[in-house]
Amino acid sequence: MAISMRRNLPERRATSTTDRAFDRLLPEALRRLSYMHWTPIEVAIRATTLLCPSSGMRILDVGSGVGKLCMVGAMSSEGLWYGVEQHETLVHTACELAGALGVADRTRFLHGDDLYNPFEVPLFDVDHGQHLLDFRLKVAGVQDRLAALPERARVVTLQGFGGVMPRSYELLYHERIAAAGLDLALWVQGAAARTITEPS
Ligand SMILES: C[S@@+](CC[C@H](N)C(=O)[O-])C[C@H]1O[C@@H](n2cnc3c(N)ncnc32)[C@H](O)[C@@H]1O
């Protein structure tokens, strides 16, 4: 499972030539969201090695946007990549892109609200007390979902998820990706996590 939170980001990340090539495949209106919202390819490749170390794994990207992480994952691993996204337009774009890139058989994109990013509520004209309450409820909901995942489930977070991982998880790997200014972490569920060794 992959969860990313874009908060406290550097002003504007430099984009690589491969990221710009990916952006050119997107409808123009979605391209301008890239630098802030879609995972840089370098980071997506690192996340793929953590989430999908062997063939036949199934990975869920919670908040999949235009499907960039799933697309990179499907092109660079032998797993089956699922994305769930709250904006239907983004789901359509992801499905079209997966077809164009030849990974439609290894990706699935679903439209839905999966409890994910509490900071996506409007920043203005809101009741801040209610906002804080909603945020805490959503984080608690995510924590409950994470705690219920089976033994050895892998969770990769990018900039955390707004809360603390349940105590049943082991932090197996952490990396600061300097070029992107992002923190990537791999958590594994359950006591068996201690027996897993991650390559550096
Ligand atoms: C930072 S973007 C990440 C995009 C993608 N994971 C990637 O790697 O390029 C976060 C995405 O999560 C979606 N999102 C936020 N809250 C959500 C929710 N409750 N359910 C489904 N999607 C959500 C947003 O619409 C946005 O597209």
Spatial strand order of the sheet with 169-177 comes to: 107-111, 80-85, 58-62, 2-4, 154-158, 182-189, 169-177
Q: Please give the pLDDT value at position 8.
A: 47
Contact 62, 199 (CB under 8 A): no
Q: Please give the pLDDT value at position 175.
A: 95
What 3-state class would DSSP assign to 137?
helix
Which ligand 1 atom minimizes the distance to the CA of 63?
Answer: 12
pLDDT digits (tens, 9 = 90+) for 171-200: 999 999 988 888 999 999 997 766 776 655
DSSP 80: E
pLDDT digits (tens, 9 = 90+) for 143-163: 999 999 999 999 999 988 889
Query: What is the set of domains in the chain, with CATH numbers?
Result: 2-195 (3.40.50.150)
pTM: 0.88
Which residue is associated with the tokens 């489930």?
Answer: 153
Q: Please give the pLDDT value at position 93.
A: 98
Residue ranges around ligand 1 (CB below 6 Å):
4, 6, 37-39, 61, 63-65, 68-69, 84-87, 90, 113-117, 120
24 C-alpha to ligand 1 centroid (Å): 20
Q: Please name the residue whose Cα sits nearest to atom 6 of ligand 1.
A: 64
Low-confidence stretches of the chain (pLDDT beneath 50): 8, 10-12, 118, 121, 123-124
